[in-house]
Every structure is written in structure tokens, then in C-alpha cells.
């Protein structure tokens, strides 16, 4: 079996150890005579899969009992609706920081549900840096402040947690959750699509401070009511059972690797290696303000863009997959989430050096 290094922004590479364990257990999980995806979601066995996954996540992120953990569906895109449906009625409207494509989507969707104010945007700076702490002030009666700690497409990452006072801070952590230590108690709500740092597409994670709930808008589907999901242990209906099982395996793998601090160290080493190489090169370039560069998604541009196709084709041959940038921005992008080993980034740098030597 030859597995390559997959730099896709999501669905992304998963740890090989997790893939092999899932493979081994697939048709007959723990001698139950069936696959984990064939277990009743209400069986003791599967309920233990969910509670084990939740316990591991709580340990990894040090989540207190003040917070509910929900395993749900629909990706961050559905959360763009769910967050205002559940929280916008608790204040005078939602406030946003706009740092790129995913911020914009979250803002547009929220506008359907109540007043929305964009406090600061780096759009006129071509999203080349994150919003700075001194550039906004949250209204004390705001329903919540929403931001995107890491913009997957632009490769822009906040290097601080925004101050929102008593206003709940809401973060779309789809592309950075579990990649660096965070203080969950600073947040009112964290959500993340699974397909980057957690598991397969089709699972979405919500971590929410329970005291914020209870003012859901009329017309909110029961499945999307956070309170109902917390009350029923993510089982308002049949949850995406196999995806939750895989997430549990990823959480276990993370614990074995030394948890989130070890991942943060690894992710800093990987991204530093790549940015240092790009910056030292006259052939590759990254346009983002160095203090706001993403440790998860590293976009770079070739000096000669006519070489793009050749770069991608040769990388592919070298087992370095999915380096094309997002279709909206072009260029290249290396997404280097938790499951990407240092050796993968080293192989990429070696390849990029050699490509530069031949075509630079």
C-alpha cells in the first residue's frame, strides 16, 4: 500500500494509523458480528462510542461542564444558519470580523436571521492580514461576536483571541480546531466541520456554553436546536455514526501523540519550515503578513504562473497531492493539518527546491 502526502484543504488527510484501524475493524467491530456503522445508535455499544469520543475531546481541549458538546451534520455552512437561529435573539444583533471568504459566507447567511454588523474587514487590504485588536470594539448589547480564526482559502490566521467582554465570542474553527492550544472558556461557541482536523466530511462539531441557549428563533428545525441536541446527547435523530466513530479514533490518536500541545509544536515546525523556505526563495511567494500567516493552510504563488500546471503534475508524480490553490484565488496551497507529518512538508520543500532548480 502506498499512501501519498495529501495537501488537500478538506476533505483532508487522516492519520494512517486511524485508517488502518478503521480498515481492520470495518466488517466486524469488536466481535459484535457487525460493522460499527451497522450498530443501532441507541445500543449500549454505540452510546459508548459517542461518550468515549466526547470524553476524549473534552480532555484534549479541557472543556468544562459549562459547555455542551454536540456531534451534528451539515458542515460549517449549516452552522452559519444555526448560530444565529440559536443565538441572535439574545441581543441586539450579531457582530462580525471579516477576514476572508469564509467570514463573508457566515455574514451573508446570518443576515437572514436578524441584524448583522461587520465591525471590521480587511477586504480592502485583499485579506492579507487579520483584523487587528485595535480596529474594532464590540457593542455591549450584541448577541455575539463571530470571527474565523483561520481562513482556509486566504491562509490568514488570527494570532490572538478577540476581546469581546461579556458578549459571547463565536468561532468557526473548521480549519484550526485541535491544531493549537486554546482556552475554551474564552468562547461562547465553537463550531467546526470535521473534514480537516477531526474526521470525515459529514460530521460537524459544536461546543457551546449552555447558559447562552434558550432563545431559539421560531422556525428553527428541531434538529438544529442546540438545546434539544444537548438534552438528547446528539441523538435528536440518528447521528452520523460511522463519522463519530472515526472522530473518536482521531481523538485517541491525538492523545497518543501528546495531545494538542504536541500538535501545536509540530504544526509550528511544519509551517515554519515551509514559510522560511518560501521567503528565502525568489521563485515562490506568500503574500500574507507574517504575523497573521496560517499554520494550517499555506498558499504560495510561483513567480512564473505559466508553470502552475507543470508544478502540479510533477508534484502529483512525486506523491504530493492536491496542491492547487482554491479555485477563487489560484496559485498553490499546502494544507498541513494535524495528520500531515513533518516528513510530508520536508518532502514538499525538497520537491519545491528541485522544481525551482530546474525551472527557476
Helix axes 241-256, 44-61, angle to 10 degrees: 40
Q: Which of 200, 196, 207, 199 is nearest to 294 (CA)?
A: 196
Do 118 and 96 form a contact (C-beta atoms < 8 A)?
A: yes
219 binds a second copy (CB under 8 A): yes
How many C-beta atoms lie closer than 10 Å to residue 226's C-beta? 24
Q: Which of 98, 102, 225, 270 is catalytic?
A: 102
218 binds a second copy (CB under 8 A): yes
C-alpha cell at 18: 486511524
Q: What is the x/- site pattern for a second copy, positions 29-58, by CB under 8 A?
A: ---xxxx-xxxxxxx---------------
Contact window for a second copy (CB under 8 A) among 24-32, 128-136, 179-187, 350-358: 24-32
Q: Pick out residues in 236-295 that bind a second copy (CB under 8 A).
A: 236-243
Q: Which of 347, 199, 194, 160 is nearest to 270 (CA)?
A: 347
Q: Which of 76, 295, 104, 102 is nearest to 195 (CA)?
A: 76
76 binds a second copy (CB under 8 A): yes
Q: Which of 52, 66, 166, 172 is catalytic?
A: 172
Q: Which of 52, 308, 314, 321 binds a second copy (CB under 8 A)?
A: 321
Please count the residues of this chain forming the interface with a second copy, following the rule CB under 8 A: 68
Q: Which of 99, 164, 322, 338 binds a second copy (CB under 8 A)?
A: 322
Give the whole-angstrom CA distance, residue 223 versus residue 221: 5
Do 189 and 208 form a contact (C-beta atoms < 8 A)?
A: yes
Q: Is 196 a catalytic residue?
A: yes
Measured CA distances, 306 to 29, 184, 284, 286, 325 (Å): 50, 45, 13, 17, 14
81 binds a second copy (CB under 8 A): yes
Catalytic residue set: 102, 172, 196
Residues forming the site for a second copy (CB under 8 A) = 1-4, 6, 8-14, 16, 19-20, 22-23, 26-28, 32-35, 37-43, 73-78, 80-82, 109, 112-113, 193, 195, 200-203, 217-219, 221-224, 236-243, 319, 321-322, 327
Amino acid at each position: 500500500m502506498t499512501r501519498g502526502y495529501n495537501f488537500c484543504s478538506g476533505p483532508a488527510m487522516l492519520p494512517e494509523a486511524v485508517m488502518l484501524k478503521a480498515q481492520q475493524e470495518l466488517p466486524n467491530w469488536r466481535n459484535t458480528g457487525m460493522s460499527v456503522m451497522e450498530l443501532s445508535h441507541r445500543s449500549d455499544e454505540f452510546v459508548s462510542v459517542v461518550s468515549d469520543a466526547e470524553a476524549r475531546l473534552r480532555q484534549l481541549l479541557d472543556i468544562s461542564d459549562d459547555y455542551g458538546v454536540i456531534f451534528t451534520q451539515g458542515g460549517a455552512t449549516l452552522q452559519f444558519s444555526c448560530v444565529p437561529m440559536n443565538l441572535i435573539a439574545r441581543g441586539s444583533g450579531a457582530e462580525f470580523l471579516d477576514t476572508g471568504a469564509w467570514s463573508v459566507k457566515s455574514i451573508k447567511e446570518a443576515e437572514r436571521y436578524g441584524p448583522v454588523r461587520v465591525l471590521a474587514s480587511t477586504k480592502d487590504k485583499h485579506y492579507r492580514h487579520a483584523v487587528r485588536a485595535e480596529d474594532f470594539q464590540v457593542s455591549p448589547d450584541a448577541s455575539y461576536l463571530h470571527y474565523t480564526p483561520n481562513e482556509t482559502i486566504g491562509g490568514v490566521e488570527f494570532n490572538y483571541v478577540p476581546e469581546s467582554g461579556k458578549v459571547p465570542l463565536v468561532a468557526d474553527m473548521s480549519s484550526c480546531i485541535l491544531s493549537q492550544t486554546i482556552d475554551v472558556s474564552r468562547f461562547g461557541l465553537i463550531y467546526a466541520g470535521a473534514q480537516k482536523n477531526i474526521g470525515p466530511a459529514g460530521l460537524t462539531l459544536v461546543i457551546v456554553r449552555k447558559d447562552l441557549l434558550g432563545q431559539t428563533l421560531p422556525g428553527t428545525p428541531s434538529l438544529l436546536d442546540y438545546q434539544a441536541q444537548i438534552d438528547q446527547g446528539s441523538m435528536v435523530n440518528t447521528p452520523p455514526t460511522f463519522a463519530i466513530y472515526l472522530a473518536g479514533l482521531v481523538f485517541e490518536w491525538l492523545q497518543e501523540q501528546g495531545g494538542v500541545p504536541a500538535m501545536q509544536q509540530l504544526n509550528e515546525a511544519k509551517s515554519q519550515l515551509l514559510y522560511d523556505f518560501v521567503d528565502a526563495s525568489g521563485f515562490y511567494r506568500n503574500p500574507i503578513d507574517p504575523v497573521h500567516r496560517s499554520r494550517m493552510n499555506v498558499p504560495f504563488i510561483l513567480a512564473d504562473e505559466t508553470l502552475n500546471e507543470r508544478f502540479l503534475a510533477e508534484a502529483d508524480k512525486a506523491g504530493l497531492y492536491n496542491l492547487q490553490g482554491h479555485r477563487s484565488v489560484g496559485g498553490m496551497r499546502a494544507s498541513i493539518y494535524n495528520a500531515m507529518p513533518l516528513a510530508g512538508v520536508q518532502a514538499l520543500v525538497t520537491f519545491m527546491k528541485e522544481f525551482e532548480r530546474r525551472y527557476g
